[in-house]
Structure 1
């Protein structure tokens, strides 16, 4: 090939490449080309691909609910003295008077898609076993309300140590994650037991029922206000606060766990929200208030 021909060919190729570059810049998405019309070096489009929208970790509309915990979640003393009444449970009950969390979330499917594995008298040490039973159903949301019985012991000295309470809760969450790695967990704070004592001690019937063994560490010698009794109740009150701090800290370390932010502890139960048999456990109305708190927490927008 002669020199003049080679120079004309080179100039032609440069003009072709320049024209292709302008075309690519204009179209933003057409594959790169050279003088021969081929693709770019990578063999693909030169335009940036949009980043996928991240899937939220928390789903405000889970399709099934399993409850674990203690007597409160069993509706104890809400319908009859010293008896469970799970139909009015804040978590999974079917009573229209309560409008439980499961009913609010699942509607007519609640009966088939919710399960109550709470046990009256349960303490934190029992939670891992309850979680194992609940996991069989593969629930999308697990509700937890436990810890009151760790403070409600025969005496203040018999309360579950805080470090032990923490270890047991961590063990239960690990057991849950081993079986249900993507399940969501709602953790309720423990109610203010001292406030329940202050409200219930106005009832002569309630104080008689307390003598049967309901929360002796707080409710024993209900009318006593001497230094010893006051100190004992203060110790129980502080232990509940410590337990609630543990619940919040352990839950915070799990991205699929939410607490109520202390809403149940802060709720000022009045006599209308307490059982008219023991004036300590939630009444039907009290259960409804717990359901409302749980629903607000579960359905709140993710931070």
Structure 2
């Protein structure tokens, strides 16, 4: 049988030709090059034993972002209805803006503006565009007036008059309430994009009814037509009257959900988490003229709630 030719360095193992060894030297050189490249990339970080100043310099290149919510505004505007105008807090059937929870100057109330800006700031850097009797449909126009001042913060308390109607069937539909509030925010953002918005929840009107219904003077004044959807026939505890009051309260709850949801979509907006709605007003916090609107004491409580939420590190839940 003819023998296979053997090349140099080749030998048989068990009758078969031995395989040639691969040229490992080239592969080793390639691997070494990759290791050097990886090491070079690793060198972009701080080497062991490096100067601590290196880490400080690196950190200084990326400062932490400034929080969007400014807890120390230097100018404040207010929009809303009779509550923000201090209606019936000083005299019968009249506004008393000096005791307003938002922008008032009364030392006993210590309004939000007074707490944040001081007396001089309230006089020169605060504006109150709320109107007694206003409903949410008026809110876009009020915020348009506010935007002209470019305030750091605007407070919103609106919705009680949308629920306070002659009859429960006349209350503002929730969809309309939402549309008006969304339009208000769009206008404000177009005209004053950096203005922060603090939104107070609508008070629990049923709570106000339950607190004032035992006062003889309050009952007589309520007969004049104040918030008849809730306060009308205040002593009637029949099924129809109970259902009517429950319907009004449910509508207020729905309004507050709208305020919360729309506000949550804006990084410069804070809803109070339902704090005003949850506050248990007593006779001391209600006007002795109508047993429905906040008194000076009540205005002060609203100011406390607002201040606590505006300066808080985190938005209320």
Question: TM-score band, normalised by the shorter chain?
Answer: 0.7 to 0.9
Which residue of 262, 271, 283 corresponds with 1:259? 271
Q: Is 1:77–1:84's contact at 8 Å kept on the other side of the alignment?
A: yes
- Counterparts of residues 174-193 of structure 1 (less than 5 Å): 174-193=186-205
Q: In structure 1, what is the Cα distance between the partners aligned to 2:158 and 2:280?
A: 19
After superposition, what is the alpha-carbon deviation per residue over 1:248-297, rounded to whole angstroms, capped at 9, x for unaligned? 00001111000110010000000000000100000000000000000000
State yes or no: 1:128 paired with 2:173.
no
Could you say what secondary structure the match of 2:225 adopts?
coil
Q: What's the CA shift for 1:50?
A: 3.1
State yes or no: 1:137 paired with 2:145.
no
Q: In structure 2, what is the Cα distance between the partners aligned to 1:238 and 1:211?
A: 23
Q: What's the CA shift for 1:28?
A: 7.1
State yes or no: 1:196 paired with 2:208.
yes
Q: Which residue of 2 aligns with 1:247?
A: 259
Q: In structure 2, what is the Cα distance between the partners aligned to 1:52 and 1:289?
A: 39
State yes or no: 1:74 paired with 2:78.
no
Q: Which residue of 1 aligns with 2:113?
A: 102
Q: Which residue of 2 aligns with 1:87?
A: 98
- Counterparts of residues 1-303 of structure 1 (less than 5 Å): 50-108=61-119, 109-302=121-314
The total of aligned residue pairs comes to 267
Q: In structure 2, what is the Cα distance between the partners aligned to 1:49 and 1:261?
A: 37
Q: In structure 2, what is the Cα distance between the partners aligned to 1:178 and 1:131?
A: 11
Q: TM (normalized to structure 1)?
A: 0.84
Q: In structure 2, what is the Cα distance between the partners aligned to 1:233 and 1:302?
A: 34
Task: Quote the RMSD (CA, aligned, Å).
Answer: 2.0
Q: TM (normalized to structure 2)?
A: 0.81
Could you say what secondary structure the match of 2:63 adopts?
coil
Could you say what secondary structure the match of 2:127 adopts?
strand
1:97–1:48 Cα change, 3 Å:
closer
Q: What are structure 2's unaligned runs of at least 5 residues?
A: 1-39
Q: In structure 2, what is the Cα distance between the partners aligned to 1:88 and 1:256?
A: 27
Q: What's the CA shift for 1:47?
A: 6.7
Could you say what secondary structure the match of 1:254 adopts?
coil
After superposition, what is the alpha-carbon deviation per residue over 1:112-133, rounded to whole angstroms, capped at 9, x for unaligned? 1101000000000000000011
1:56–1:213 Cα change, 3 Å:
same
Could you say what secondary structure the match of 2:237 adopts?
coil
Q: In structure 1, what is the Cα distance between the partners aligned to 2:184 and 2:105?
A: 27
Could you say what secondary structure the match of 2:214 adopts?
coil
Structure with higher Rg: it is 2
Q: What's the CA shift for 1:48?
A: 8.0
Q: Higher mean Cα deviation, 157-166 or 205-214?
A: 205-214
